[in-house]
Structure formats: C-alpha cells, structure tokens
Amino acid sequence: MQTLYFILIATIINGLIAFAGASLFFINEKKLEKFLILFLSFETGALLGGVFFHFIPESLEEISIIKTTILTILGFIIFLSLEKFLHWHHCHTEKCHEHTFTYLLIYGDAIHNFIDGLIIASSFIISVPVGIITSSLIIAHELPQEISDFAVLIYGGFTKKKALIYNFLSQLTAIIGGVLGYFFLSIKDQAIFLIPISAGGFLYIAISDLIPEIFKEKDIKKIIINLIFIILGISLLISAKIFVE
C-alpha cells in the first residue's frame, strides 16, 4: 500500500501543475493578448517536439513501425472527425465564440496525462527512488507546457476561470492512470497503443489549428519571432528527451 500512496502523491502533484497557468491571471488582459500568440507558437513547437521526439519513438520501442504509422494516422483522423463534430455541435446554430481546437487540446492532454499516470505507477512499482526521479522529470516537463496550454485555451476563447478548471480536469486523468497502473499493471501493455493515437491527435492540432492561427500574421518581424518560439518549444522537448536518456 505504501507504493500506492507514493503514486497518489506524485500524480496529485502532477495534477496541481495545471494551476501553473494561474500565473497568467495576474497579467493585464491587454498585455496578455500581446503575448498569447507567442504562447501559441511555443505550444506548437512543444506539440511537434512531443510527437516526433517522445510519442513516436516511445511507440516504436514497443510496437512495429507499421502499427505506429497506422495508429498515428488513425489518431489524426479521430481528432479531425472530433473537431468537425464539435464545430457542428457548437457552432451550427449560432456564432462560435470558442475555437474547437481548445477542446481537442484538452482531450489530447487527458490521454497524455493518463499515460503519464501509468508511467509513474510502473516506475514506483520498480522502486521508490526510480519513481521519484521519473515523477520529477514528468512534472518538470509539464510545468512550462501547462502554462502554454492555459494561454492557448484563452486564445481559443475560454475565460481564464474556465481554462483553469478544464486544464485541471485534464490533469486529473494522471491520477486515474496511476491507480489503474498500480492495480492492473498489465493495462500498460494496452496503453502503449494510445501513444501513437495521441501523437496523431497532437499532430492534427499543431498542423490544422495552431500553425494557421500563428501565420495569420503578415508582419515579417513577428513571423520570425513566432518561428523562434516554435523552435524553442521543439528544443524544450528535445532537451527533455536527452536529459531522460
């Protein structure tokens, strides 16, 4: 039972990382608007970095390249279909004030956090020191991304309060993953198939939703700055990968 307590503590702390976005509450609305596009660019880079340097390589360690490719494409199609359904459901009768990519980001994040919970559980079952190190790496990786997620939700039309609540709820799936991982460790064998599906979903959000928003900008100077922030987002995920290895 002691192992379960450690898993719960680690996943709860991971869940509380969602409140890192609350730091943006203290920024004036007009000032925040100027920075939102930079957060959007950073988030795009983080999503692309996550897909190509974390999700797909992790998937290839466990399943074949053909299965990984098929599941990644499947994830892309699922999120495409989901967005079209959300757009029809929310926007066909009245003007849509919230971008549908906000909900896609939440769903994708929920899957991602569920898998993180499984990883935390499996690492604590190996040993407490391994669990602490693994949890610390996951939390350190989540911190800047949660702030960016929060900013993207605001950019997509959420109020600050709604963005904070939804972001927190998506983080709580890590606790579910942790508990299930503890009691049914074999579920991790099936959960590996969620990784490429999640990769396809994040790839869809980055390519179809975020990149077009970023490059609505016509000012060449601002385009270059946005590109720099995309590269910074990718670099963060590459650095995290190198550090873990």
Task: Answer whether residue 104 is part of any domain.
Answer: yes
Confidence of residue 224 (pLDDT cuts 50, 70, 90): very high
Residue 36 lies in a domain: yes
Any domain includes 23: no
What's the chain look like in SS3? CHHHHHHHHHHHHHHHHHHHHHHHHHCCHHHHHHHHHHHHHHHHHHHHHHHHHHHHHHHHHHCCHHHHHHHHHHHHHHHHHHHHHHHHHHHCCCCCCCCCHHHHHHHHHHHHHHHHHHHHHHHHHHCHHHHHHHHHHHHHHHHHHHHHHHHHHHHCCCCHHHHHHHHHHHHCHHHHHHHHHHHCCCHHHHHCCHHHHHHHHHHHHHHHHHHHHHCCCCCHHHHHHHHHHHHHHHHHHHHHHHHHC
Q: Looking at the domain assignment, is residue 24 inside a domain?
A: no
Q: Is residue 136 part of a domain?
A: yes
184 vs 134, which has greater pLDDT?
A: 184
Q: What confidence tens digit (pLDDT) does each residue in 7-62 have?
A: 999 999 888 887 777 776 667 666 766 777 888 888 889 889 888 988 898 889 88
Q: Is the pTM of this model over 0.75?
A: no
174 within domain boundaries: yes
Domain range for 112: 2-18+29-244
Check residue 92 and give its pLDDT.
Answer: 47
- Residue 225 in any domain: the answer is yes
Domain count, the chain: 1
Q: Is residue 127 part of a domain?
A: yes
* Confidence (pLDDT) at 54: 82
pLDDT at 242 over 50: yes
Structure confidence by residue, pLDDT tens digits, 185-212: 655 566 678 788 888 888 988 898 788 8
Per-residue pLDDT at 238 exceeds 50: yes
